[in-house]
Structure 1
Amino acid sequence: MLTVQTRHAIHQDHAKGMDTAALRQHFLTENLFADGEIRLVYTHYDRFTMGAAVPAGGALTLDKVGETRTPSFLDRREMGIVNIGGAGTVAAAGEAYTMNTGDVLYLGMGSGAVTFAGAGRFYITSAPAHRTCPSRLVTVAQANEVNLGAPETANQRTIRQFIHPQVMDSCQLVLGYTTLHTGSIWNTMPPHTHDRRMEAYLYFGMTPQARVLHLMGEATETRHLFVANEQGVLSPPWSIHSGAGIGAYQFIWAMAGDNVDFTDMDMLDAGDLR
Structure 2
Amino acid sequence: MIRITLAGCTGWVGMALVAAIMAAPDLELVAGVSRQAAGRDLGEAAELPANGLPVFATVAEALSVPSDVLIDYTKPDSVKGNVLAAIAAGRHVVVGASGMSGEDYAEIAEAAENAGVGVLAAGNFSITATLLRRFAREAVKYVPDVEIIDYASPSKPDTPSGTGRELAETLAAERMAGTSLPVSELGGVRETRGGAIGAPHPVQVHSLRMPGFVLSCEAVFGLADERLVIRHDAGTSAAPYVGGTLLAARRVGEQIGLRRGLDSLMV
Greater share of strand residues, 1 or 2? 1
Q: Which TM-score applies when normalising by structure 1?
A: 0.30
Greater share of helix residues, 1 or 2? 2
Q: Relative contact order (alpha carbons < 8 A, sep ≥ 6): 1 or 2 greater?
A: 2
